Amino acid sequence: MIAIAWIAILSGFINDIIHLKAEGRLHFPLIVHFHAAIFFAWLLLFTVQVWLIRKNNFALHKRLGIAGGILAVIMVLIGIATALITENVKYGTQYSDPAFVSIMLGDMLVFSGLASAGIWLRKSPSAHKRLMLMATLILTDAGFGRGISYWVAHFFGNNYWTYKNFNEGFWPFVGFQLFCPFMLLFAIGIYDLFTRKKLHRTYVVAMIWCMGIDLFAGWLYFNPTWLRIATRLIGH
């Protein structure tokens, strides 16, 4: 799962960088660089944490967990700021899409909820590892959305942002925004069914949280009232 997360993120962003450079748009606000560094640090720390557990080094895993909690808070704060600032910079250009703030803020809400619950339930290894893994995997939509999601979405219709309302754009939204990361999340459930013969209760609750927030964020994206609110949030 960690290998897939790395591949999803790196392939998506490398693909994005290549295209942006070709178009002469390879320039970002400073906060984007901080966001990228923090996200990379999270992936790296999570990878180390998994390796430490496999090596039965529980003491160091717990000590690094403190750093992970701090890093998670920073990730959420930087993620929210990045969403607002980047849309502010793009406002008025052909790439402007203030309503997309709902998707980015939804990601931060899902991540913060899962990571917080994972830290709270750290004394329950089976719950803790599922929550922290799901918190990480849900963020792969940022990588998939810059690469493979364009290919997958082709089977669901046109790009979801070309539709006017949620009813028309529902399946295209699911195909582009949710399909790939949720396939990874569903794989955890399949693993549980094969190994435990039942779904872990924490996993079920976490899936409801993920699906509920992400679908609500998608509904907001198509809502005219949200567009006005999002435009004000980004400073216009």
Residue 102 is predicted with a pLDDT of: 97
Q: What is the pLDDT of residues 107-140, one digit of tens each?
A: 999 999 999 999 999 999 999 999 999 999 999 9
Name the residue range of residue 195's domain.
2-233
| Number of domains the chain contains | 1
Residue 47 is predicted with a pLDDT of: 97
Is 105 within 8 Å of 69 (Cβ atoms)? no
Residue 175 is predicted with a pLDDT of: 96
Residue 25 is predicted with a pLDDT of: 86
Report the 10 Å Cβ neighbour count for 188: 20
* C-alpha to C-alpha distance for 1 and 67, rounded to whole angstroms: 22
Pick from 150, 139, 137: which is nearest to 186 by CA?
Answer: 137
Q: Where are the alpha helices (DSSP H) in the chain?
A: 2-22, 30-54, 58-90, 101-120, 125-137, 141-144, 148-153, 166-173, 179-195, 201-221, 224-233
Q: What stretches in the chain show pLDDT beneath 50?
A: none
pTM of the model: 0.94
